[in-house]
């Protein structure tokens, strides 16, 4: 038997047909460690925590399950093995306020009843020096308890750059307790070349920025909170300016909704013309609703899977990175109820289990001063990524969508020698 580990080597494989693996076949039992098995155009794809492998039909049962010998070989080659976590993942909201007024923001508490750009939000707070002291004391204790040596900080908000001093001070002082690197999720409207340079000098390696479709859609949706003003050109200009001043890498998230869907093809080309694709990863995400009343009528069926695949291919062809699909992962922060590998801290020092509940009253799971509350008090508040999102479709439809898009991407990466 040969198993072609796509992560390591590119051995040619002979393809056959999977007998009897039609849509009516019973679903096979889930694989351990979040591993997935997908039926590609010409072969099967195994996605495990240890990497991606290309399999023959003879490694898989007619129902689409791994045969025991193939599973044993994958175990032996470490494909089911999850890597050791060595860095503590610390997310800090340096400001809970934001200068934009996106209607779908999960930190809104409702829609703007006047139809404008000021949806009500979570309460305002701002990271101070005293709270940084408490956060870093808490982080040191958590890292010692978990035996972790490194620190990976996420500068988060609201808009983190509404408090640039808090961002800089946090990174500067974090380096005193552990080797620190950082990334940031920012709307990039306030990012200047000099601020980017200072943050990069303190360990910032990458920034995630969102686009709400092509320029005209984006400028209708992702608008200034105070004046409803357009932001597309400013964001692109700021990213280009920061690129010139630093080595920062960029993750450009493209929000997909019924309002942005038709402009995404043009957006990809526009971004490729304005930015250096070699420094950018592009990803597409259908926007959901965490209960703030944002309506997205786009379903995960119909033309959506094919559109996602078309966008990913175009992005790759233009030189962007599109991340390789992988196994289902447990989030290092919210996936462990004792906060062993990371924490989400709001600007006032309260702890949440997940980004989506940070800064929301009634969702606190402790404070950095006193640590986590006892498990029996946090059980109902310990939610994980995506738990709060509401969809009109069931989990199987969402999983089928993801499998279809990921399979097409793996096929294309392989076809074009990128795997």
User: What is the binding site for ligand SF4 (CB under 6 A)?
Assistant: 98, 100-102, 105, 107, 157-159, 187
The string of DSSP letters for 349-372 reads SEEESSGGGTT-TT---EETTTEE
Q: How far is CA 263 from the centre of its chain?
A: 22
Q: For ligand SF4, which is the closer residue by CB, 158 or 203?
A: 158
CA neighbor of 100 nearest in space, from 222, 208, 184, 254? 222
Return d(Cα 261, Cα 356) in angstroms, integer. 24
Quick check: helix, strand or coil at residue 193?
helix
Return the structure tokens found at 259. 């309002």
Return d(Cα 21, Cα 1) in angstroms, integer. 21
CB of 121 to ligand SF4, least distance (A): 8
Q: For ligand SF4, which is the closer residue by CB, 100 or 243?
A: 100
Return d(Cα 238, Cα 175) in angstroms, integer. 27
CB of 145 to ligand SF4, least distance (A): 31
CB of 386 to ligand SF4, least distance (A): 16
Handedness of CA 395, 400, 406, 409 (dihedral sign): negative
Return d(Cα 254, Cα 211) in angstroms, integer. 5
Q: For ligand SF4, which is the closer residue by CB, 105 or 167?
A: 105
Q: For ligand SF4, which is the closer residue by CB, 52 or 105?
A: 105
Return d(Cα 300, Cα 391) in angstroms, integer. 10
Q: For ligand SF4, which is the closer residue by CB, 31 or 100?
A: 100
Q: For ligand SF4, which is the closer residue by CB, 98 or 127?
A: 98
CA neighbor of 157 nearest in space, from 385, 344, 339? 344
Q: For ligand SF4, which is the closer residue by CB, 298 or 373?
A: 298
CB of 407 to ligand SF4, least distance (A): 30
- C-beta atoms surrounding 247 within 10 Å: 9
């Amino acid at each position: 038997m040969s198993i072609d580990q796509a992560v390591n080597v590119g051995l040619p494989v002979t393809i056959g047909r999977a007998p009897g693996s039609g849509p009516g076949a019973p679903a096979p039992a889930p694989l351990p460690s979040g591993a997935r098995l997908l039926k590609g155009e010409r072969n099967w794809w195994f996605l495990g925590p240890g990497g991606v492998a290309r399999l023959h039909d003879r490694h898989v049962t007619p129902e689409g399950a791994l045969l025991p010998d193939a599973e044993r070989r994958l175990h032996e080659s470490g494909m089911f093995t999850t890597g050791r976590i060595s860095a503590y993942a610390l997310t800090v909201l340096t400001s809970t306020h934001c200068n934009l007024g996106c209607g779908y923001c999960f930190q809104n508490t409702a829609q703007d009843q006047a139809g404008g750009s000021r949806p009500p939000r979570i309460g305002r707070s701002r990271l101070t020096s005293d709270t940084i002291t408490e956060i870093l004391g808490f982080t040191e204790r958590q890292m010692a308890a978990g035996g972790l040596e490194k620190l990976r900080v996420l500068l988060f908000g609201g808009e983190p750059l509404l408090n640039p001093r808090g961002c800089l001070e946090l990174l500067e002082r974090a380096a005193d307790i552990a080797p620190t690197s950082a990334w940031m999720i920012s709307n990039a409207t306030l990012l200047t070349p000099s601020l980017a340079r200072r943050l990069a000098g303190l360990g910032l390696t990458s920034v995630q920025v969102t686009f709400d479709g092509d320029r005209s859609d984006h400028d209708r949706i992702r608008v200034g909170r105070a004046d409803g003003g357009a932001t597309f050109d400013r964001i692109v200009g700021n990213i280009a300016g920061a690129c010139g001043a630093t080595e920062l890498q960029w993750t450009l998230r493209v929000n997909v909704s019924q309002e942005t869907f038709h402009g995404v093809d043009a957006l990809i080309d526009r971004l490729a013309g304005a930015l250096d694709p070699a420094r950018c990863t592009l990803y597409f995400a259908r926007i959901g609703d965490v209960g703030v009343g944002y309506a997205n009528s786009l379903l995960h069926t119909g033309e959506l899977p094919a559109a996602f695949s078309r966008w990913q291919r175009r992005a790759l062809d233009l030189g962007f990175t599109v991340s390789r699909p992988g196994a289902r992962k447990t989030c290092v922060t919210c996936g462990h109820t004792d906060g062993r590998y990371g924490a989400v801290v709001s600007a006032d020092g309260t702890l949440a289990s997940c980004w989506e509940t940070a800064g929301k009253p009634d969702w606190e799971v402790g404070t950095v001063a006193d640590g986590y509350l006892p498990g029996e008090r946090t059980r109902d508040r310990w939610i994980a990524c995506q738990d709060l999102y509401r969809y009109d479709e069931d989990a199987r439809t969402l999983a089928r969508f993801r499998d279809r898009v990921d399979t097409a991407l793996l096929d294309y990466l392989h076809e074009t020698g990128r795997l």
